[in-house]
Amino acid sequence: MTTMQTSPKVSSELVRNAAGRMVPTEVNGRPQTPFLGVGAYEPDGDKAAPPIRRCADYPTNGDKRVADLRTALEKCGLRDGMVISNHHHLRNGDRVALEVLKAADSLGVKDLMWFPSAAFPCQAEVIDLMEKRVVHHIEGSMNGPLGDYCSQGKMRGMGVLRSHGGRWQAIQDGEVQIDIAIIAAPTADAFGNCNGSHGPTACGSLGFALADSMYAKHVIVVTDNLVPFPCLPWQIQGNNVDYVVEVDSIGDPSQIVSGTTEITKSPDRLLIADYVAQFVRDAGILRDGFSFQAGAGGVALAFVGKIRQIMEETGVKASFVRGGSTKQLVQLLQDGYTSAILDGQTFDLDAVRSIASDPRHVPTSPFTSYNYHGKGNFASMVDVVVLGATEVDRNFNANVNTHSDGRLLHGIGGWQNCLFAGCTILAVPSFRDRLPVIVDEVTTYTGPGELIDVIATERGLAINPRRQDLLDAVKGSDLPIRPIEEIQAEVEQLCGGKPERPRLSDEPVAVIKWVDGTVIDTVWKVES
């Protein structure tokens, strides 16, 4: 492989990667491979593996319960500098991650690397733990207060942002070795079998925790709904679990569902959703057995409503849809408009009930859905995916991570992984407040334009010139298909010219990983 390795001691060296972005060659003491282009990096070697264990060291009756989290962490040998992982299936209602880090603090441990599958505002207190040197740095999505903390260069190590598939890839390829994984389980038995679909804090799939359960050196399951063995179904196998801890509550159910499952009333967003659905029809993507992915949030939900209307009119049925699952997708399944929901994340209570009771509503993991270093994944088999973005440039490259002033805004989620769908549509407003969304150069390069096919705005749809097949397919459609430059110029006229580009420092505070583990861009320090 063509790496540009430097000494781990030289942390400031920057190279220009294949996307033309300056990226560090070393991050948190590990050498990095700069992005080489889509599909260019070829991994070698074997996958990582956890240490071999033996039954003799575990209770023969299968009861792995210990008194509390602190005891479990001690038994796992928690010490300075370890890598601790948590997961975001409880979203902003999670109570476990913070409890883990506070327990570590009470044990006097320092310099941990926290490796959540995503961080939420309810975990803002981790800032205090970083100030107290309990946590050294975070590798995971950061937004809100944690994003600002990282953006202002206050974190001791560098942030590393990975897609859901990229997190699996990093664990599987041994780039991140998890010392202790702590899995919040809505239902579990004393052996460690667990699922997310049952119990008072049911949240749907536990897929984000699956890699950790397989590759971490130690695994702790924390539950507030301990059931007699066997816990059915088990999405996480107790055979990978070291200890089980029973607590009063793993989370606040009212904060677990996103609450954004209302279809938007915004005229502009409804218009974008109409355009996207009509595009899917007019481009010939909508045909019997097709598949699509759309998450929660205004435009995506409105799109699902509109595509359903077209399916009703035309009698076309989908073979599968991919969630973020919502009530709207569940209704498609129940009314026979799709044969299955392959669910990566469960967004509302209707979807939680469905995943618990309907065998056609399947919990998936980043391994089956997204992992780029596997023998295929579901994301590339989806015919059309509807995603969002903060900024898009004229070459269709897009930013989902930072505000236009460079501050961290969002994690990558499954966004990068989804770009491999048959047709990738970014549904975005053409401007937010006064700020044009189509720019000359994206602030952060999260995804390459060669994988992005359509930018759908309320002022028209721009089709990537690389997709002549799509351009041909919609000839004769009455959709407003327009060159991206034309939409950009129109919005700049409305907004009173091109926005100034804020000056960013030359000090890296985080990197953005591509799906194959290479570094696709750098996030730079922002003055507070």
Query: How far apart are CB 496 and another protein at their closest, in Å?
Result: 4
Please, are residues 171 and 209 in contact by the beta-carbon 8 Å criterion?
A: no
Q: 230 or 480: whose CB is closer to another protein?
A: 480
Dist. CA 17–CA 448, nearest whole Å:
12
Range in contact with another protein (rule: CB under 8 A) among 61-69, 175-183, 204-212, 493-501: 493-501
105 binds another protein (CB under 8 A): no
495 binds another protein (CB under 8 A): yes
Burial of 394 from C-beta contacts in 10 A (0-12 / 13-18 / 19+):
middle
What is the CA angle 479-483-485, rounded to 5?
140
Range in contact with another protein (rule: CB under 8 A) among 66-74, 141-149, 429-437, 513-521: 429-437
Between the alpha carbon of residue 191 and those of residues 2, 303, 431, 435, the distances in Å are: 45, 43, 53, 54
- 449-481 burial by CB neighbour count: b if 16+ within 10 A, else e? bebbbbbbbbbbbbbbeebeebeebbeeeebeb
Query: How far apart are CB 313 and another protein at their closest, in Å?
Result: 13
Q: 19 or 263: whose CB is closer to another protein?
A: 263
The neighbour count for residue 184, using CB atoms within 10 Å, is 31
The binder of another protein chosen from 131, 432, 465, 468 (CB under 8 A)? 432
404 binds another protein (CB under 8 A): yes
Q: 336 or 497: whose CB is closer to another protein?
A: 497
Dist. CA 345–CA 325, nearest whole Å:
6
Dist. CA 262–CA 124, nearest whole Å:
27
**455 bridge partner residues:** 426, 462
434 binds another protein (CB under 8 A): yes
61 binds another protein (CB under 8 A): no
The binder of another protein chosen from 271, 310, 316, 362 (CB under 8 A)? 271
Dist. CA 526–CA 222, nearest whole Å:
37
Query: How far apart are CB 310 and another protein at their closest, in Å?
Result: 14
How distant is the alpha carbon of residue 391 from its chain centre? 18
459 binds another protein (CB under 8 A): yes
Query: How far apart are CB 267 and another protein at their closest, in Å?
Result: 4
* Total binding residues toward another protein, as defined by CB under 8 A: 24
Pick the closest to residue 443 from 493, 379, 489, 398 (CA basis).
398
DSSP annotation of 94 reads B
254 binds another protein (CB under 8 A): no
Q: 342 or 504: whose CB is closer to another protein?
A: 504
Query: How far apart are CB 499 and another protein at their closest, in Å?
Result: 3
The neighbour count for residue 149, using CB atoms within 10 Å, is 22
51 binds another protein (CB under 8 A): no
How distant is the alpha carbon of residue 134 from its chain centre? 26
Range in contact with another protein (rule: CB under 8 A) among 161-169, 263-271, 360-368, 381-389: 263-271
- Tokens 């079998």, residue located: 193
Among residue numbers 501 through 520, which ones bind another protein (CB under 8 A)?
A: 501-502
The binder of another protein chosen from 156, 480, 483, 486 (CB under 8 A)? 480
175 binds another protein (CB under 8 A): no
The binder of another protein chosen from 155, 158, 270, 487 (CB under 8 A)? 270
Q: 124 or 495: whose CB is closer to another protein?
A: 495
Query: How far apart are CB 478 and another protein at their closest, in Å?
Result: 5
Can the peptide bond before residue 233 be classed as cis, meaning omega within 30 degrees of 0?
yes
Residues engaged in binding another protein (CB under 8 A):
265, 267-268, 270-271, 404-405, 432-435, 458-459, 478, 480, 493-497, 499-502
